[in-house]
Structure 1
Amino acid sequence: MLVFGFGQLYAQKTIVINDTVPEHIFKSDEIVCLEDASNKLTFGEISSSVFHNRFQKNINYYPKNYNRSSSYWYRVKVNFTKDLNRATVIEFFDQITDHIEAYMPDDNGIYRQSKTGADLNFTDRLYKHKNFEFLVNSTKKGEYYYYFKVKSKDQVNVIIVFRTVERFIQYGLTEYFTYGFFYGMIVIFSFHNLLMFIAVKRRQYLFYILYILSVGLYEMSTDGIAFQYLWPKHPVWNEYAYGVALYFISSFGLIFTKELLHVKVKAPRLNQLINVLLIARLAFFLLCLFYNNDWFKYKFLEFIPLSVGFYTGIYIWWKKQYRPARFFVLGYFFLFLGFVIKVIHILGWARHIPGALGYYSLTFGFLLEMVLLSFAIGDQVRLLKKKKENARKQIIKQMQVNADLKDSINRELEVKVAERTREVQQQAEELLQQNITIEHQNEELLSKNTLLEQQAEEISRMNILLEKDNITLKTNIEKVTDARVNATELDFDEFSQKYPDRDSCYKFLADMKWEHGYKCIKCGNSSYCNGKVPFNRRCTKCAYEESVLHQTIFENNRIPINKAFYLVYLMYNHKGAISSHKLSEKLGIRQSTCWTYAAKVKKVMEERKKDLKGVGKSGWSKLVLDKQA
């Protein structure tokens, strides 16, 4: 009853479905999972009674594949309280999941396999939809277990949703309508700013067009829309598309920031920082593209250019009092907020944030940013017009003043040019002298570096010689110790140098016991792994763990193993003629215990008298193994 109660305490939660439930999102303890690090487990093994209780509870709001080299098996339990009599689907949300296998029973209880994922052509999907759907084979009354195998090179959120087909169609139409609105706005903004670029010839419009088009490409890549409509037969492009789009977003975003806010003039240091960041971002992009595209997954690095752009806008608006920057700051605020909410949602820390807001937070942020950046551009245009009018008035006034000051200015310029020429010549002479000094210093440094390299080579050579001497000395010590153990009777301290602790004794027993290979005594399997106790071996097939002491003279031993070794050693050297009082004195163990163990060893010596004949001083080690083993 206790075992049954304990099992019920950790039983998987059953989800009850009836006609009033159009959809259900599985979360938290409604999903159990099992990691397959070997990637070799089959559905037959996973669904067997052996593995039934090995599934673990999901600790997060949504499960994740933390180890991206492993396969993960997920199981949900559904109870249909009555026949639904309508088609239903199981849907997975994360569009970058590489491979999903579903195993769902039909009306006869036979499990049917279905496959999908971002690694397959889009045309191979059951429904031509950006998410992954599986048709539920049976909706008759009863309890069902659904199994899903997920493997992905990227870490994904395993969001499993049960939906009726009616709800799926309604949800899909609404979602695609929203995407159409979003991408339509991108096209409209791009076309409007293209006309402005043609009319005004200001580069900021061109960079803004490239920026919002990059936003559109990134959103299409992450939403699966690009895979559906742009490259449905080339799933490998999914591994590069979002990374390329992110690079264009951060690069064109920073360049647009420089052009719109005149960062080079208003904040030279921030301009240098942005230039360095653009070079670093290009280097990282090239590494991801040509060396390891797996690095594209580090999308959180976009926090750096986003923060730099946000801070630049705040600085120029607050410190330089540049009015168009206020819309820029407001737009980046919404983008920054959307980025933070998206990260919190991905990490599973925002359980109280509505799912749609958390999932589409970055899209909302991009949308608001595009609108507000357009306001910033318009505000800048109005400011430029006002500046041009003021400049025209100032030009007319200045032309009148210039006529009077032209001659005096020219004379002053001639004097200043002469002075500046002398300063430049003097600085050139100083630079020449500094270059000569630097050349001398470089020559000294080169000579010192050469000397240091020679010393380093000599030290390295000496270290190699010392290491060889240490290895030789250590080998000689071990040989001398073995020789003394086999040649003369040692006291316990000397004997302990060879077998100082439990691990050294267990290692000696394991090497001798499985000298000719391991074989499970239960099933005969020859494959094993480490057991709970050091040097024990556990069968990988039947999980039986064999103790290193099993079938040895030390089985059920109750005294320290190194003292038991020494007791066997003394008994063998004295041919069983040493008294239990003498053993008690040498080992520091009670006389009665010594007598018991001595009798056991003496019995084994009598039984193996013929086998031990002529083996010499090392024959004591032949006593430890069971003769049958």
Structure 2
Amino acid sequence: MLRKVINRLVYFFIFFSAHQVIAQQVVNIDTNTKEHIFVNKEIVCLEDINRNLTIEEVKSAAYQDKFIANKDFYPKNYNRKAAYWYRIKVRFNEKLGHSAIIEFFDQITDHVEAYLPDENGNYVKSKAGADLSFRERSFHHKNFQFLINTDKKGEYFYYFRVESKDQVNVIIVFRTVERFIGYALSEYIMFGFFYGMIVIFSFHNLLMFLAVRRRQYLFYILYVLSVGMFEMSTDGIAFQYLWPNQPVWNEYAYGVSLFFLSTFGLIFTKELLHVKIKAPKINTVINLLIIIRLIYFLVCLFYNTDWFKYKFLEFIPLSLCFFTGIYIWWKKQYGPARFFVLGYFFLSLGFIIKIVHILGWSRLFIGNVVGYYSLSFGFLLEMVFLSFAIGDQVRILRRKKENARKQIIKQMQVNAELKDNINKELEDKVVVRTKEVQQKSAELQQKNITIEHQNEELLSKNTLLEHQAEEISRMNILLEKDNINLKTNIEKVREARVNATEVDFEEFSLKYPDKDSCYKFLADMKWENGYACIKCSNTSYCNGKVPFNRRCTKCAYEESVLHDTIFENNRIPINKAFYLVYLMYNHKGAISSHKLSERIGIRQSTCWTYASKVKKVMEDRKKDIKGSGKSGWSKLIINK
């Protein structure tokens, strides 16, 4: 018994399902029908997963039962990798007597093929879509229109093949040509009003930016232009008028315009509401969101443009702007934020209504027109209230400026009163001070007389002092001459002593105390017969980088004062090297390196090396230094 009940339920379910599959509601059209939108059971669909079905196969009896009833108010292509066939059934109750069209609304649909029967029952193919250039359309309109080939009385099946990378609402509408013309004109007038408002807002704020140079006006212009570009891309107006021969740009238009819309919206929010000052944490969140949005945009642009379809992500920056406005209005009591909040309230409301319309629920409580254009209305109201917010901010700034001006005027009045009081006090003090000055002047006059007598005495004394100064000056000149002669005699005595006897290093250092004195001695000896460049033989020179070096004025070669002397490549202090040569010469090369090290204060090994070098030179120049006395050590210095 239970098995029979189950079998009957199964048979009933199969029968009911089959009835749902093949059942399709017929749409009756007569001469009074100007427009009809196909919804629900008036549309059946077939999913072509491999996208290889032809119209002959689809309209054949084998595929008629494979069409399923539409489960949504408007059909959608849930599987974006497949093609979808849609079928509508129309009954003309009488000959229409006028032309009519079938129109598709969603402008982002990539490819639409319409198969409409003619008077002979043959299906005529027409195609349209966002992937085709605009001039290939039958009607130069932003939507997709297909002309009905016959208006005779009877029942007709219309087939439509739809492919799209994005999920679209397949909104199919029957319209008479007269109705289409009236509707299109009204719609384009509305577009002209909407985009005209965008141009007016942009131009007005451009003038404001040029006048006051506030960045918020510039970002508002960029935001409004981004809104306009997004709406033009969504409505198909941009494709129609901006790039009609480049349909590939339709793949980027939405994503690019949405990126600029959300980015400039966030930046404008920061500038208008002074978020950096009033809410630093929210400002950090906004900056972070801008960076994330930029990264996502670049990934979509260069990696996968298919990700541009996730438009619902723009609800995040929209919500953040809305929250920022509420916070600054509620917490910071910033007046212009109230208009900002109202603008984003209407934009959010338009966004929600648009979603409801896409889901097909807008017909329950609002009209299709309001639902379809809700986001545009929201943007328009938002722009109006944002303009109010900017104007309110300007009004507040003007009021602050006026208050500041009044405060300045008031302060200037106070300053003037203070100035008058001070001047009066100063005048009184001047009178008192004048009397004091007159009294002091009389006293000073008496003192001046006394000072004049004293000056006469000083003049006489100064004359005497001048004579004494002249005598002292004459004596100083004589003393200076004596000092010069004395100094010269001391120098000669010292040189004679150095050359005459062996002296210790301290006494030797009086003659050659430092590097400069040694270099000067070498220079005088080396070039006592005149300078000649060793490279080019030029006789003109200038000072080199190192003191006492000489640089050729012709070839710029700089010759070191140590070059071609026994001290070339010297690594010990030059005055000690002088003393070492002096000792070696006085002892005729017989002094030991240990003794040299003790007297000069240099390591024994270094003294041995230098002593060997000097001893070799002495042997080579025995004839030259023979009979030179104690001063012959200087003849060992210059190499021959």
**TM (normalized to structure 1)?**
0.62
Contact 2:44–2:68 (8 Å) recurs in 1: yes
Give distance in 1, aligned partners of 2:49 and 2:67. Answer: 14
Report the 3-state secondary structure (helix = DSSP H, G, I; strand = E; otherwise coil) of the residue aligned with 1:39: coil
Look up the match of 2:389. Answer: 376
Look up the match of 2:91. Answer: 79
Give distance in 1, aligned partners of 2:157 and 2:15. Answer: 21
Contact 2:31–2:97 (8 Å) recurs in 1: no
Look up the match of 2:211. Answer: 199
Q: Please, which moves more after superposition, 344-353 or 311-320?
A: 344-353
In structure 2, the CA distance between the partners of 1:202 and 1:6, relative to structure 1 (3 Å rule), is: closer
Deviations 1:329-355 (A, max 9, x none): 101100010011111211234331310
Look up the match of 1:42. Answer: 54
Look up the match of 2:125. Answer: 113
Residue 147, structure 1, aligned to residue 159, structure 2: yes
Aligned counterpart for 1:310 among listed residues 308, 322, 336: 322
Aligned counterpart for 1:220 among listed residues 221, 224, 232: 232
Unaligned runs of 5+ in 1: 405-629
Aligned counterpart for 1:336 among listed residues 337, 348, 351: 348
Look up the match of 1:386. Answer: 399
Deviations 1:312-336 (A, max 9, x none): 0001111111111111110110001
Q: Please, which moves more after superposition, 389-398 or 342-351?
A: 389-398
Aligned counterpart for 2:247 among listed residues 235, 240, 244: 235
Aligned counterpart for 1:128 among listed residues 132, 137, 140: 140
Look up the match of 1:183. Answer: 195
Alignment of 1:526-605 (within 5 A): none
Give distance in 1, aligned partners of 2:19 and 2:148. Answer: 28
Look up the match of 1:485. Answer: none
Alignment of 1:239-254 (within 5 A): 239-254=251-266
Q: One-letter code of the match for 2:217?
A: Y
In structure 2, the CA distance between the partners of 1:293 and 1:7, relative to structure 1 (3 Å rule), is: closer
Report the 3-state secondary structure (helix = DSSP H, G, I; strand = E; otherwise coil) of the residue aligned with 1:138: coil
Report the 3-state secondary structure (helix = DSSP H, G, I; strand = E; otherwise coil) of the residue aligned with 1:134: strand
Give distance in 1, aligned partners of 2:72 and 2:309. Answer: 21
Alignment of 1:216-615 (within 5 A): 216-352=228-364, 353-393=366-406
Q: One-letter code of the match for 2:392?
A: D
Q: One-letter code of the match for 2:321?
A: G
Contact 1:63–1:158 (8 Å) recurs in 2: yes
Give distance in 1, aligned partners of 2:367 and 2:247. Answer: 31
Report the 3-state secondary structure (helix = DSSP H, G, I; strand = E; otherwise coil) of the residue aligned with 1:109: coil
Contact 1:97–1:156 (8 Å) recurs in 2: yes
Deviations 1:573-615 (A, max 9, x none): xxxxxxxxxxxxxxxxxxxxxxxxxxxxxxxxxxxxxxxxxxx
Deviations 1:103-126 (A, max 9, x none): 111001111111111000000100
Give distance in 1, aligned partners of 2:405 and 2:333. Answer: 23
Deviations 1:521-553 (A, max 9, x none): xxxxxxxxxxxxxxxxxxxxxxxxxxxxxxxxx
Report the 3-state secondary structure (helix = DSSP H, G, I; strand = E; otherwise coil) of the residue aligned with 1:25: strand
Report the 3-state secondary structure (helix = DSSP H, G, I; strand = E; otherwise coil) of the residue aligned with 1:72: strand
Name the Cα RMSD after superposition.
1.9
Give distance in 2, aligned partners of 1:320 and 1:5. Answer: 63
Give distance in 2, aligned partners of 1:377 and 1:8. Answer: 61
Give distance in 1, aligned partners of 2:121 and 2:324. Answer: 63
Give distance in 1, aligned partners of 2:276 and 2:410. Answer: 29
Contact 2:362–2:368 (8 Å) recurs in 1: no
Report the 3-state secondary structure (helix = DSSP H, G, I; strand = E; otherwise coil) of the residue aligned with 2:90: strand
Look up the match of 2:63. Answer: 51
Contact 1:61–1:351 (8 Å) recurs in 2: no
Look up the match of 2:45. Answer: 33
Deviations 1:264-302 (A, max 9, x none): 111111111110011011111111111111111000000
Look up the match of 1:163. Answer: 175
Report the 3-state secondary structure (helix = DSSP H, G, I; strand = E; otherwise coil) of the residue aligned with 1:156: coil
> Offset of 1:86 from its aligned partner?
0.8
Q: One-letter code of the match for 1:35?
A: E
> Offset of 1:8 from its aligned partner?
6.2
In structure 2, the CA distance between the partners of 1:108 and 1:376, relative to structure 1 (3 Å rule), is: same
> Offset of 1:85 from its aligned partner?
1.5
Deviations 1:55-85 (A, max 9, x none): 0000000000000000000000000011111
Aligned counterpart for 1:61 among listed residues 73, 81, 95: 73
> Offset of 1:398 from its aligned partner?
8.2
Give distance in 2, aligned partners of 1:124 and 1:14. Answer: 31
Give distance in 2, aligned partners of 1:12 and 1:45. Answer: 19
Give distance in 1, aligned partners of 2:184 and 2:317. Answer: 34
In structure 2, the CA distance between the partners of 1:257 and 1:110, relative to structure 1 (3 Å rule), is: same
Q: One-letter code of the match for 1:119?
A: D
Report the 3-state secondary structure (helix = DSSP H, G, I; strand = E; otherwise coil) of the residue aligned with 1:115: strand
Deviations 1:8-51 (A, max 9, x none): 67521110000010010000110000001011111111111000
In structure 2, the CA distance between the partners of 1:278 and 1:143, relative to structure 1 (3 Å rule), is: same
> Offset of 1:390 from its aligned partner?
2.6
Look up the match of 1:91. Answer: 103
Give distance in 1, aligned partners of 2:85 and 2:242. Answer: 32
Look up the match of 1:594. Answer: none
In structure 2, the CA distance between the partners of 1:7 and 1:318, relative to structure 1 (3 Å rule), is: closer
Report the 3-state secondary structure (helix = DSSP H, G, I; strand = E; otherwise coil) of the residue aligned with 2:165: coil
Q: Percent identity?
A: 69
Give distance in 1, aligned partners of 2:19 and 2:314. Answer: 47
Report the 3-state secondary structure (helix = DSSP H, G, I; strand = E; otherwise coil) of the residue aligned with 1:351: helix
> Offset of 1:4 from its aligned partner?
10
Q: One-letter code of the match for 2:167?
A: Q
Q: One-letter code of the match for 1:369?
A: E
In structure 2, the CA distance between the partners of 1:8 and 1:18, relative to structure 1 (3 Å rule), is: farther
> Offset of 1:6 from its aligned partner?
8.7
Contact 1:98–1:153 (8 Å) recurs in 2: yes
Residue 100, structure 1, aligned to residue 112, structure 2: yes
Residue 174, structure 1, aligned to residue 192, structure 2: no
Larger Rg: 2
Give distance in 2, aligned partners of 1:348 and 1:8. Answer: 24
Q: One-letter code of the match for 2:156?
A: Y
> Offset of 1:199 from its aligned partner?
0.6
Report the 3-state secondary structure (helix = DSSP H, G, I; strand = E; otherwise coil) of the residue aligned with 2:362: coil
Give distance in 2, aligned partners of 1:374 and 1:38. Answer: 52
In structure 2, the CA distance between the partners of 1:166 and 1:390, relative to structure 1 (3 Å rule), is: same
Give distance in 2, aligned partners of 1:197 and 1:223. Answer: 30
